[in-house]
Structure 1
């Protein structure tokens, strides 16, 4: 009898410990693929909540096309493409469609650098200027205190400037050279890369540091970076649809996806990135999955391009990046992600995200077990959330150890109780939290943000699905809900009456003058106001009346600020008033002769 009870207890404990991963991994590839396609979930899994479908979520997030490669047991399990590579020609995405990989370029560049370390052509702890012959880092007081090395550059600890590069439109001719960009030469739209903080002190993301490493690799190998990486990595791994060449060679360009973005600054075309190591890779999920698997195999000493020592050097955390529910650290190339409560290597994942104009990509692999996924999309907006939803679906279906948060288990409440939570609550001077009821749960929005699903877990207590967090509703003496407070907040968010609108709500209601009065009372700063005006001018659809009202307030409070007139110029251009735009840009450049953006816009207007 005791044996039977013990067996039952062990079986029950096993089910409880398994949490949300109680289902078995589907046995066939087709079943695994179908399960992933229908298992997209929010940040926190929710017991009993209907999963989302991939193509439905593509439409929701307005993502034109994407491609996925799933890794399992150190092999590519399946690859599949969805949507269109070009909305004009309706050319579909295929598994051979190339996407701009953005900063995933850094992970690949770091692996290329480690091949030179393996061949003893470079060392991680030797001053980088030892290897640079075409250009050198200025040896200022920071550099002399502690020389910058390849290892520091690959782990974003070199203290170098230039966090990111934004690329060039294809019509820029000639394209700046790497040396010109490093030097901040005229026409490069960048400043010289310098050491402006203490090397080795802390993590500080630096695309400029990776450009220095790119030039060092080119100088040591005596090859341009695209040729070097093709020989060192791509040919050996069978990555036939990958290149650092910029612009793309014609034979690859015909298979490349077009770029799509809702950002106002986007010029409607794929950008060019001669800053190859920081941002210039074009690839496919299949090719990048091959590279991740090769790195996983090298790490466990089962072959691979790198030695086991080099792979373990790459895949060892060097500095903290962020902490919260997940702990994020930086290695030599990849970032590391694990739950803060994780205690095993099985729950550690290495990854990199890539964002370029009109493109977004995720690449992640497990440190042990041979799991992972690569997702590449030709959109840089909603793709951010869609990619995470797909990544979580893969993690759930393939039961990645310790990756997902523990699931929410809802506790249904009476309709009348849920209805009492519906309403608007003020979180900040211009920030409103809105709860509405949907089925047996709540949907939260913050101003105009995406919906966040919230589930009752006790009376007057809900759990959010966008982060492991609870909130508590407070009732007044008559039993009515009058405020809500998250477990992180000291002060509750009071309920707003129906006729009590915050400035951003007044703008949405078309009551611009009242909204401007609200912002005047809030004493909004110059850059807050001009950013708002920029956003209203360039969002799709634009709100030009709101932009005008905000700029009138900005000019009233900051009559000599050049940025105000620069934003007026943008608004007048959008309204089709060329003469007013010219006058505004002339004023902006007179007030700030270093405003190159306004000067370029003025030159373009005068030329036509």
Structure 2
């Protein structure tokens, strides 16, 4: 009897040890299997720390769901680069638009309780604010289903938050009304509801207002009682600004964007962007939704989950089919025919932060990835997600792998050069090892894999390309399968307008800028980016704005940008004159009025 007991004890210990080794092995495989969008046989995979350095991401935190359990969670790098505080599983990140998925879940709870209805006009549930019933609204009144699926035709695609010194923060009614303190426009129905996908943070704010009105509770309390308490999400809150117990745990945000002030931003637009959480907490939420598919969730019923996961409208197609459910983006490979190959996800991007949350609709696996860098949305996070998918063999998630074809060095060398994609778009191809790297206007490198002589695959979108040769076998162009004409290979003395501006060849650059024929918003945004570069090059900004004024002499935004230019030059008189002209052309613009008062 004793021997049997000893044998069972040893067996249990062995199984526990084997399971631990297995999880550790999977973690190590994820950490060393980062890859491009298209898996490549024969391409060396990447290490997570190498790619963090490549993308300049200070800190990353990951939680992995497997077999309806959170199998592991781990932090990497630094939450604060000055204080050298490491990322741990307790480090809190700003989750951005993933907030909308939690908000949609509460809305479904209220539908179950009969306090909201999916298909009735949302105005029936609003008492503290009224939606403007304009011509678009009259055509098809906006419903909760429309708002949760971004088909309500509502405005304000995103919100940019405030620096933490901003006090007081605008209220939800001030945000919806577009009052000056909100620094955003009024939320209106600016296209016919029910006709198209139109991503709208403003629509999410209408949903928040309706939920607050029918419950009589503020949004912080609603989310705490209806989600966080139920799932023991103890490191999560929608409260803005962050309450003191959370402040010591939150990661610092980082971004190279010219407008970024170098500090964690505050988002009073709670349902749209206000969530702070950890990957472990967020994984608890994703997992509970998955358990709802088995009618075992704590938040919503199986019926409500199925309603959320039912496509309302298509968004995009190609290698992947993307659709919109209620609060959740629905994703599957274009060639997928199986229910187990369907996924729900949401992504988030707030100032200095990027996050990803994904789960399989019918199976118990998924992942949450959060980073304290607001740069390069399609970079590190997606590479980590692919490594997790490959390690855990997510059903029909990754594209089919391609095989690298070894070509001789001279052939590969002949592909190097600069190819003109547009007047101001230059594709640069460089040789690295036995494959190629593509950059567009000096952006992040995209791996291009040779599959045969003069044939490559761009691994960011699984797009095929071919190099074009002349009768003497010299490479003269590059053409993707999406292009009707090849991109000509540029001569060594040939440059784009942006390149000429960087060389301070302003008159030559202005010729190219005129050819681009940008509208007033495009060219003033172009000037804005140059105006906020470090160090400033005000001569470049002036050259761009001279072309803007030539082509758009009656555009208020052009004069407003001239006003910004003169402010940067410390020329208050000309700044004032240009803002006055902008206001004369657009008298209703409150922002111009506020700026004029401050000058």
Q: What TM-score do the two structures reach when normalised by structure 1?
A: 0.90
C-alpha distance in 2 between matches for 1:65 and 1:84: 5
Aligned match of 2:35 = 41
Range that drifts further, 122-131 or 428-437:
122-131
Aligned match of 2:525 = 531
C-alpha distance in 1 between matches for 2:307 and 2:197: 17
Given the superposition, is the C-alpha separation of residues 560 and 441 from structure 1 closer, same or farther in structure 2, using an over 3 Å criterion? same
C-alpha distance in 2 between matches for 1:559 and 1:220: 49
Aligned length: 581
Which of 307, 311, 315 is the equivalent residue of 1:317? 311
Aligned match of 1:70 = 64
Shift of residue 92, structure 1, vs aligned partner: 2.4
Aligned match of 2:476 = 482
C-alpha distance in 2 between matches for 1:139 and 1:528: 31
Shift of residue 545, structure 1, vs aligned partner: 3.4
Contact between 1:214 and 1:277, CA under 8 Å: does it hold in 2? yes
Contact between 1:62 and 1:382, CA under 8 Å: does it hold in 2? no
Aligned match of 1:386 = 380
Contact between 2:43 and 2:404, CA under 8 Å: does it hold in 1? no
Aligned match of 2:91 = 97
Contact between 1:63 and 1:382, CA under 8 Å: does it hold in 2? no
Shift of residue 144, structure 1, vs aligned partner: 4.5
C-alpha distance in 2 between matches for 1:544 and 1:186: 29
Q: Structure 1: state its 5+ residue gaps.
A: 1-24
Aligned match of 2:486 = 492
Range that drifts further, 569-578 or 381-390:
569-578
Contact between 1:350 and 1:365, CA under 8 Å: does it hold in 2? yes
Matched, 1:450 2:444: yes
Contact between 1:125 and 1:149, CA under 8 Å: does it hold in 2? yes
Aligned match of 1:299 = 293
Contact between 2:180 and 2:591, CA under 8 Å: does it hold in 1? no
Which of 99, 109, 132 is the equivalent residue of 1:115? 109
Given the superposition, is the C-alpha separation of residues 182 and 564 from structure 1 closer, same or farther in structure 2, using an over 3 Å criterion? closer
C-alpha distance in 2 between matches for 1:261 and 1:26: 37
Contact between 2:423 and 2:512, CA under 8 Å: does it hold in 1? no
C-alpha distance in 1 between matches for 2:277 and 2:141: 34
Shift of residue 62, structure 1, vs aligned partner: 1.7
SS at match of 2:524: helix
SS at match of 1:187: helix
Contact between 1:26 and 1:32, CA under 8 Å: does it hold in 2? no
Aligned match of 1:331 = 325
RMSD of aligned residue pairs (Cα, Å) = 2.3
C-alpha distance in 1 between matches for 2:196 and 2:512: 41
Equivalences for residues 15-414 of structure 1 within 5 A: 28-382=22-376, 384-414=378-408
Shift of residue 581, structure 1, vs aligned partner: 4.4
Shift of residue 222, structure 1, vs aligned partner: 1.5
Aligned match of 1:15 = none
C-alpha distance in 2 between matches for 1:220 and 1:560: 47
C-alpha distance in 1 between matches for 2:115 and 2:558: 52
SS at match of 1:28: helix
Given the superposition, is the C-alpha separation of residues 215 and 542 from structure 1 closer, same or farther in structure 2, using an over 3 Å criterion? same
C-alpha distance in 2 between matches for 1:541 and 1:423: 29
C-alpha distance in 1 between matches for 2:135 and 2:572: 49
Shift of residue 106, structure 1, vs aligned partner: 0.5
Shift of residue 395, structure 1, vs aligned partner: 0.9
Aligned match of 1:14 = none
Given the superposition, is the C-alpha separation of residues 539 and 372 from structure 1 closer, same or farther in structure 2, using an over 3 Å criterion? farther
Range that drifts further, 336-345 or 592-601:
592-601
Aligned match of 1:570 = 564
C-alpha distance in 1 between matches for 2:141 and 2:484: 46
